[in-house]
Structure 1
């Protein structure tokens, strides 16, 4: 005997399995059958792989004397063509009491044909259910409602209109929000973020089990926490409450993509320069090691399978951490310039900011005009609805679409306003960091030293005890300018250096910042 329901909810409600078994047992008794085995599945039959179904097939193959199967009706046994073929190959006699059908090798072709039609109808029913479910989910998504299971930090609830919606989980949402803040700094790994989240109490609500690192990664990648989500390639503004700002989520994506991620060495000792430098001879990483429990030396790993040179030769070369630190300190000193130059910088920023500000203001006006135009459309259509010129369903559809466009306009307005405010502060802060980089470097802990070097330098290599590095943009332009100014100042004086070098250099520098801002704004 075989009985099946599609879900655990149906099983709990108890309206199907007991009724099927009762019918089958009465049928068996009436026809003189002794029941050898009972199998019950609580899962859908639209796909292969049901547990009890597979056990039943194996049992029938192992017991050739048992050749009668009792099932309530066709769609209880299978709703896919593969399972139909599997049962057909068993050469068993199938009784469907509810349909009054007995199917076997001796059945007439018309009976087999009708059974095949029932199987196809059962399959079509499932396909139609799936299609309707997809349509329902698509419609729900277009209304700004997340249509499926919620991630950690949210929970499914029933809204005032009876529809299933998602709401903030008051227990887990603060931890999820905190995770984004932790990881956005770029100085911890996913494993460390998971450990901090566990300590804060992040567990699965039902089981209480700890959330694995893979799930933490999935959470940090999920745009849903920003109040927006993607559905079938379309970006939709959700009606649920956001847990993190869009800017913070984007920052985290940058860290995950490796653009800002620290290359910190995992271990008991935090080596300041591990992960920063590659061996010039073979390309392998240069790592730190403690000697005599107090001296820190760096050497090439010289991995034989990766090394492009002589691994043994590379591993024999060492350099003291103090020597590397002195070389990095000298490199950062190339960015140093005096207070008078900084004042010139501020003046240049204010001058260049005038054009930047005008562009932001014009963009804000365009989006405000579009926002107003959409608002007028919604108002006009509302009047038409009151007058009976358009029906409620059409009004809701179009007004929701236009409100979504309004939300996009509002986001663009806020983005331009924020960019307008940050232009001056970011430019001054960047130059202030550059001119004080050497002093800051000398005072920081190993992790902060590494972060500062990662921010300012790139392509660091070690060759015969010397560090060779490239300044990142726009620090490379500053380094060249300060070096040229120092040469002229040594020969012709400070005034000549400022006139000949700093003013043209600053024009180029701010042109590069301006273009970078424009590219970010366009993207």
Structure 2
């Protein structure tokens, strides 16, 4: 009776209006028939015209064309009581929601990754809580982690999650929810936009109705950090420009390369070149990568000092609205795909580990994992104790703020309250980072290390799509530098630079650390006592250091681009 749209009720009204004979409508009580005045206005006209009779069984009330004033007044009284009941019900619901929000409790159903659980208390009462859904929470975390790498569009991420077996709750059917349904692009977008896994949620303010952000105050566990969530929002806001537009061709290093000079992404482009071969022309398709940063208004003084006035990208507008402004195109030159792959293969060679060294690394990593777990547990215990103390202080401040009537004291208390809330959030983020560290799968790290034993051969033996997956697994991105300029403010000799600096993902960052073998050597000497293997590891360490020094960035001046 309180619904805005009552389809069956409206159909009944149409039937009454279309009927040539009076129709009797029977209801148990008035509040089962209506809880507002809008129905009274419409049915009073139908009653006066003799088109309808209203029978309310429990109240023994019949309203018809010839009803006396007392019967009509009784109808109005029952409608008034029904309306009062609805208004009181709304007030109670608002009051309940407001109380939940103040405690940090989410008033609605849990989102994907969480579940609503009824917990039985010691006194026999039931408390409803939101708890982590172990089966689906890992997929929600994976959605944020993978999208933050900027390797996937939302559609590609949805397909990957579908392949991994991520299923979301389906709409209720006659046979129940079943096993749910496959995740879609809109589901992934909903997950990525929702701050719920960070410990915050949006809900309409019970008083104003405006959508506001609330803190959960620790009433349910978090899945991701705020820093990761904000990074994902930044990528979503920029529409993930690496993958925007139509993809006619799927290029091997698309989205992987960044410009050393301006930080923009290098864009792939396929071109057809004609070559002479035995007095005959031959067309060959060649893939090139170029900086996506077009002509921009940047620090022209820096460029003129670094590249000289003869740099082809520097020009000044002589007329029009931009008269006097200097436009500079990025000096990054075009890369052939084969040139990039040559650098990547060189990096794979630098990541190579001997099988015997691999066995020693396994011992080291397992012992290091045990040590890290002990330190993480100790840190988490300390943070949890500190978090509890801060929570008690916050509760005390809330009581003081509610009771004080001194505005200056209230402002001071609110300032302290906000500082403590920020400290509380920082402590939760620290706990989350330690818990994430505990969740590192050592077996996966060892598998990655095994892969590094012959990474070049493995890469070359894979099909195109699998090669892209391997590149995404190993590298976060690669910084490209290919340009030429004159030194000494454009008056000196012409200098050329051509280098690629890959930025690795974990666990390859650790595996490539020059300090890793330094730490392994004492362990190897203590457990294995193999002089030949020690010599081999020392040679490998020297080779890695040489490789690192050769690929070290020569460019030391700050970039002219913001």
Query: TM-score under structure 1 normalisation?
Result: 0.50
State TM-score, norm by structure 2.
0.47
| Structure with the bigger percentage of helix | 1
